[in-house]
Structure 1
Amino acid sequence: MSRLCQDRVVVVTGAGRGIGRAHALAFAAEGALVVVNDVDDGPVAEAVTEIEALGGKAVASTDDVADWAGAENLVNTAVAHFGRLDVLVNNAGFVRDRMLVNLAEDEWDAVVRVHLKGHFAPLRHAGAYWRAEAKAGRARAARVINTSSGAGLLGSVGQGNYSAAKAGIAGLTVVAAAELARYGVTVNAIAPSARTRMTEDVFAGMMAPPESGFDAMAPENVSPLVVWLGSAESAAVTGRVFEVEGGKVSVAQPWRHGPATDKGARWEPAELGPVVAELLERAPAPEPVYGAN
């Protein structure tokens, strides 16, 4: 029986551990050919071995996804080993949490580089590949799944660098969805909640109650949606951000135009106090920032 992603070629970044590793294994279980990417070669080799032991096919990549040439080589690895690329899952990342007044420049740069540039660079090279394929008459049912975060959607105290990068990824997702649609490519994002090395302190105590047997914070809970988004079945879905936690899946509401008042002429500064108050009264209250009192 054909599986959901049978013979689709999938790149998963940050796949040596955590959510990325769960994605790689889940895609392989559905018949995909997987490029397992992570800068740490030990966990990459272990993931490849595990996939092959289960009867799947995988190849290792230790390219730095935030390096321009590394990202290009990652795409080329998929094409060289498996003949094409169908799905890109951008997942790689790490945290350097600090309150803004304590956040160092290198901590800002490192997090934005790995998360935001580490999404853009593979997406750019994969997009160029799919554009060339479409122009050659070989349009793919191609898919991109990016990884944002609740911190990127709502903000998170102590994570200004991470929140900004993840918000950027959400914005990049909707732009890429609009630009790449002409080549048969859909682009979506997830905002997952799961226990990983990045979140182990936050979710350390959130294990499955013995009587339920369901660990709501297990990374494996996130992967089924990612696999479905990477399949041919998801062709009608693009430009969306899905929140995933345990058994819960929801669609995030994006920024949208709200209440407005138009004077038809330039405002005087002194006029705007009551105007803004009236607009805020008509607008829904924003969701609270994570960690705010």
Structure 2
Amino acid sequence: MTQRPAVLIMQRHLAPLSAFLESAYDVYRLWEGPPVEAAQDVRAVVVAGEYPLDTAVLEALPNLELIACFTAGYDGIDLDWCKAKGLPVSHAPGVNHEDVADHAIGLIVASRRQIVTGDAAVRSGGWTVETRTITPSLAGQKVGVVGLGAIGEAVARRADALRMTPAWWGPRDKAAAWPRAASLLDLAKASDILVVACRADESNRGLISRAVIEALGPHGLLVNVARGQLVDEDALIAALRDGRLGAAALDVFMEEPTDPARWAETPNVILTPHTGGATTAGVQGMLGLLIQNLAAHFAGRPLVTPVA
């Protein structure tokens, strides 16, 4: 065992974290090869919670003590497996939900006011004195929020400020400033815009089904800033292509990065590369919590933000 604790970073896109961790830890990176010789040393793994966690790699780390999730979401982590192994899990809640809500509203405005297609028209010479795009006002639009957690509440507050009318649905009732629909299907039927903002796990894969998409209808807009697995992506693409759904604006996908060819013939869709929470402040907040949780664990103190 080394004198300093050793940590293993699991996903390549988390490579920049190395520079912030190497002053206190021996840092290994899985994409450089499994740390066979150092397997005895690794006491914590650093992960992005949206990716399935390879438990076979973890099984080869006999002194593993902590799963340190860099993100707020941890749907890729098998919590039952971790509990059975006695492995605590930390994450980074409450640092970027406002940013994700900003992004959701940006997607709504961009889609409803046709900002992307307007930009393309100006650049291509399609804007003439004879043509002018007429778009719906946001005022009075009924916004259904799926999941009234931190992100969902932030979206609803912003919708209020923009003169839209929020409502919501979640599997568990709670005190809220906005009405809760009797069911997800009822929420979709009553909404002009449906924003997916709920936590993902295996119990709600494909929650936004063909039936929900069709209930939203040919003038409806589906916005997803949560997780790609929550939406039946094949049903979504089919509905957009044949006009059963009006539009979609997506920041997350079933597989990431998504295959651009998948969307090539799909109309009325705006796509962003999972950047809803990727702000300077948000990333700094996640980094701060990661460092605090690692330090607390190795000092024998309670985790700062454990997964409940």
Alignment TM-score, normalising by the size of structure 2: 0.33
Q: Which has the larger radius of gyration?
A: 2
**Which structure has more helix as a fraction of its residues?**
1
Alignment TM-score, normalising by the size of structure 1: 0.34
